């Protein structure tokens, strides 16, 4: 009989899960992170249910420690009102799945069975193409466009190898999700997935973050620190924004990729690691190489298997699926009330070019979900700047395609820009004229010509 450890500071949650699972599993419980780690070391359970929010040592800290000691043990995170970012961070640290409270009996059993089955050796490597495609979507890749299908095909094709992967794409396209999918779809999917944003770490700390340091290596090194490469041993290290590394750090990264070994800062003994490296950047590394900002030998090392994530504007057919996906997530995290989106509102979202890509779309949907007064998101719930840009673009296309006279389009644009300036200044004509860079007399003339009056405010 397999052993399951339940870690939650709420007695009611521990007892409920125990009642559900006790007929099929040997169930252990712990009320704190410290107690859980001691029990993990003593009992070696086959799976762990772990609450994210606990006093003292929280679930994220416990998860990090569990991954150091037993990287292959499935961990299912339990979350109540945590944000999507927290759940994503838990998955990055190596969580196998998560459950949102309150949860159903069947959901608990199904999730537990799933992670235990996936733990069986060789199962991931022998899965069919359709199952791996499903895993792509479970990893957060949402879409049915040709571009996404091709991306999932590439993920499936390269997942079983250990070659270094370079993921390129604009900010907000989901490069880290793709990296996670490559990791999860391969035979090492139950091993650590460790991520680091190279652009977010100061230059004087990046070497210690990547390779760790020995006690006394520098002034604040009071104890030995394990770096990201060691944390990812046996699994995958994701180097986000690799193009922002300094030339000095690039030299040391190149050595690890070539030799599969490194020195901790202040260390003398080489440490060998078995790590698959996945790098990502929104920069043009080829251009950076030509201009001397990125080493050409490192570029060839990281660009063994290239993957490109298309911007959202090139796969607008996926927007309805993404919107539905985000609405479902925010409903679970919020009041539980599902919201729909009107056809007109969806048309605006599909026509907008989304310079911030999927991340921007997610933020906009979250805002609409929070501010929507009813059960349906209407065009008025969409941010005004998005509505306005879409309207202008549609007007421009109508003129260029011969479907709208130029004079009529010009009048409509002038009316709109003047009205917006007046509304922004609470119909103070002097301030509105200053904002537009024209005199108050010219503004008044145009208002009369266009039929704009103060009573329209």
User: What is the mean pLDDT for each group of 10 consecutive residues in the chain (457 residues)?
Assistant: 90 90 91 92 90 89 85 83 63 77 81 71 38 50 85 88 92 92 86 91 87 78 83 92 94 91 85 92 94 94 93 91 88 75 90 92 92 89 87 62 63 78 87 89 84 69
Query: What is the three-class DSSP state of 110?
Result: helix
* β-bridge pairing 97-100 and 75-79: parallel
Please indicate, yes or no, whether the overall pTM of this predicted structure exceeds 0.75.
Answer: no
Residue 182 near residue 174 (C-beta atoms within 8 A): no
At residue 143, the pLDDT reads 84
Three-state SS across 187-246? CCCCCCEEEEEHHHCCHHHHHHHHHCECCCCCCCCCCCECCHHHHCCCCEEEEECHHHCC
- C-alpha–C-alpha distance, residues 121 and 123, integer Å: 6
Computed on alpha carbons and rounded to an integer, the radius of gyration of the chain in Å comes to 27
At residue 306, the pLDDT reads 93
Domain boundaries, the chain: 3-120, 129-308, 315-450
- Whole-angstrom CA distances from 416 to 27, 406, 413, 433, 444 are 66, 15, 5, 14, 15
The CA-based angle 234-239-241, given to 5 degrees, is 175
DSSP secondary structure code for residue 454 in this structure: G
- C-alpha–C-alpha distance, residues 320 and 349, integer Å: 9
| Burial annotation 169-182 (CB, 10 A radius, 16+ → b, else e) | bbebbbbbbbbbbb
Strand partners, 271: 262
Q: Domain spanning 3-120 has what CATH number?
A: 3.40.50.2300
* β-bridge pairing 261-262 and 271-272: antiparallel
Query: What is the three-class DSSP state of 91?
Result: helix
Sequence-distant (6+) residues with CB within 8 A of 4 are 21, 25, 26, 27, 28, 45, 46, 47, 48, 49, 112
Residue 273 near residue 233 (C-beta atoms within 8 A): yes
- C-alpha–C-alpha distance, residues 4 and 167, integer Å: 37
- C-alpha–C-alpha distance, residues 180 and 183, integer Å: 5
Nearest CA-CA partner of 186 in 235, 124, 241, 242: 124
Q: How many Cα atoms are found within 13 Å in the side-chain-facing hemisphere of 215?
A: 3
Please state which architecture CATH assigns to domain 315-450. Orthogonal Bundle (1.10)
CATH topology of domain 129-308: Rossmann fold (3.40.50)
CA end-to-end distance (rounded Å), the chain: 72
- C-alpha–C-alpha distance, residues 185 and 38, integer Å: 32
The two tokens of residue 73 are 């043990």
- C-alpha–C-alpha distance, residues 385 and 377, integer Å: 17
Nearest CA-CA partner of 254 in 174, 164, 331: 164
DSSP secondary structure code for residue 356 in this structure: T
Nearest CA-CA partner of 62 in 41, 95, 33: 33
Residue 333 near residue 368 (C-beta atoms within 8 A): no
- C-alpha–C-alpha distance, residues 215 and 228, integer Å: 17
Fold match flag (3-120 vs 315-450): no
């Amino acid at each position: 009989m397999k052993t399951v450890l339940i870690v939650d500071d709420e007695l009611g949650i521990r007892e409920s899960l125990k009642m559900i699972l006790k007929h099929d599993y040997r169930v252990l419980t712990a009320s704190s992170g410290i107690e859980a780690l001691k029990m993990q070391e003593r009992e070696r359970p086959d799976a762990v249910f772990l609450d994210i929010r606990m006093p003292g040592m929280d679930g994220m800290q416990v998860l990090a420690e569990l991954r150091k000691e037993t990287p292959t043990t499935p961990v299912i995170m339990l979350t109540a009102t945590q944000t999507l970012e927290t759940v994503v961070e838990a998955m990055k640290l190596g969580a196998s799945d998560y459950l949102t409270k309150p949860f159903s009996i069947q959901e608990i059993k199904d999730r537990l069975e799933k992670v235990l089955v996936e733990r069986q050796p060789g199962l991931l490597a022998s899965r069919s193409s359709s199952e791996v495609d499903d895993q792509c979507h479970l990893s957060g890749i949402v879409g049915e466009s040709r571009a996404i299908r091709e991306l999932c095909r590439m993920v499936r094709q390269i997942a079983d190898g250990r070659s270094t992967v370079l993921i390129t794409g604009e900010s907000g396209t989901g490069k880290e999700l793709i990296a996670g999918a490559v990791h999860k779809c391969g035979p090492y999917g139950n091993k650590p997935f460790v991520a680091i944003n190279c652009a977010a770490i100061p230059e004087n700390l990046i070497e210690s973050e990547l390779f760790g340091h020995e006690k006394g290596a520098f002034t604040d090194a009071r104890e030995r620190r394990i770096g990201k490469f060691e944390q990812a041993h046996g699994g995958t290290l994701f180097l986000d924004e690799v193009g922002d590394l300094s030339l000095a750090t690039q030299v040391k990264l190149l050595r690890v990729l070539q030799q599969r070994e490194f020195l901790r800062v202040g260390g003398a003994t080489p440490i060998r690691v078995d790590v698959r490296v996945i790098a990502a950047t929104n920069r043009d590394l080829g251009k950076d190489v030509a201009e001397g900002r990125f080493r050409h030998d490192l570029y060839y090392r990281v660009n063994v298997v290239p993957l490109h994530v298309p911007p959202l504007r090139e796969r607008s057919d996926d927007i309805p699926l993404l919107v539905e996906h985000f609405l479902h997530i925010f409903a679970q995290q919020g009041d539980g009330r599902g919201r729909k989106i009107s056809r007109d509102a969806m048309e605006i979202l599909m026509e907008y070019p989304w310079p911030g890509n999927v991340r921007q779309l997610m933020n906009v949907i979250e805002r609409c979900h929070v501010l929507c007064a009813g059960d349906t998101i209407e065009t008025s719930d969409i941010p005004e700047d998005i509505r306005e840009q879409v309207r202008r673009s549609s007007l421009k296309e109508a003129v260029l395609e011969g479907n709208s006279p130029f004079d009529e389009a010009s009048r409509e644009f002038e009316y709109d820009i003047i009205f917006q300036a007046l509304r922004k200044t609470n119909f103070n004509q002097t301030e509105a004229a200053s904002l537009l860079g024209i005199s108050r007399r010219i503004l008044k003339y145009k208002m009369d010509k266009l039929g704009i009056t103060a009573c329209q405010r």
